[in-house]
Structure 1
């Protein structure tokens, strides 16, 4: 029982730090994100620092993980085992990129942006949830 409380607290704290970072970096503003992705137009390179910081933190996290026997609140780490680049990976990446470019959101910032009250955010999150459910119910069962 105590373990569940610590898991909940760690997840809540992590989510709060993540949401604060998204807000501070401007990733909750779809116009700013689209400006970053518009490399041939009015490009806004400021989010490159956000992405670079995320890569640096992830790199450090992976190095720490490699030295640990197991995570604090689980018996094993859940990391991808396949290193193959296949059709579903490329298709999923392309769809993710298209959704990010058109909507100006990826899943984390979209959920966090619900608190800001941008009307398009709700539509994006609903479409995202429908897509995730459709994938789970139809395509993931084929593998």
Structure 2
């Protein structure tokens, strides 16, 4: 049942991204072109997402426990650190250059455009590279235990 619920949430998200036009990178890039062909529609998409998220959080966290899990899995980190700022910067720069965010790129795979596949491939390479770097840093920072 959890898998079906996950699938349905993904379908709703993908349809919403497609209907809003956010699978079109030109639409997203025009949002960033303040002095050219500025398109404010992304503000309305984000506003709708913010309202939906606010209502969803109120409903979900009003429950004693999640439907398909034992407990709510909420991030515990509250600090703004270099990792958060760096990741946000990479995300924003990539979004501004490509016109795709990861969430919008996955539904856009259905368009069959090679640019979308190239973006998703670069995204996956970036994820694996970041994981590799993180594991190397963690490994080198681990204390050496001598017998």
Q: TM-score, normalised by structure 1?
A: 0.91
The alpha-carbon deviation at position 41 of structure 1 amounts to: 2.6
CA apart distance, 1:65: 2.6
C-alpha distance in 1, partners of 2:135/2:42? 33
Secondary structure of residue in 2 paired with 1:80:
coil
1:8 matched to 2:3: yes
Match in the other structure for 2:59: 64
Could you say what secondary structure the match of 1:73 adopts?
coil
Aligned to 2:84: 89
SS of residue paired to 1:126:
helix
Q: Which runs of 4+ in 1 moved over 4 A?
A: none
Are positions 1:50 and 2:48 aligned together?
no
Pick from 127, 131, 135 the counterpart of residue 132 of structure 1: 127
Question: Once structures 1 and 2 are overlaid, which stretch shifts more, 39-48 or 27-36?
Answer: 39-48
Structure 2 residue runs without a partner (length 5+): 139-147
Partner of 2:142: none
SS of the residue corresponding to residue 40 of structure 2 reads coil
Q: Whole-Å Cα distance in 1 between the matches of residues 92 and 36 of structure 2?
A: 18
Partner of 1:75: 70
Following superposition, the deviation at residue 142 of structure 1 comes to: 3.4
Q: How many residues are matched?
A: 138
Mapped to 2, the partners of 1:117 and 1:27 lie a distance apart of 15
Cα deviation per residue 1:56-107 (whole Å; 9 max; x = unaligned)?
A: 1111111123211211101111111121111111110010000000010011
Coordinate RMSD, CA, aligned: 1.3
CA distance in 2, matches of 1:133, 1:30: 24
Shift of 1:110: 0.8
How many angstroms does 1:26 deviate by? 0.4
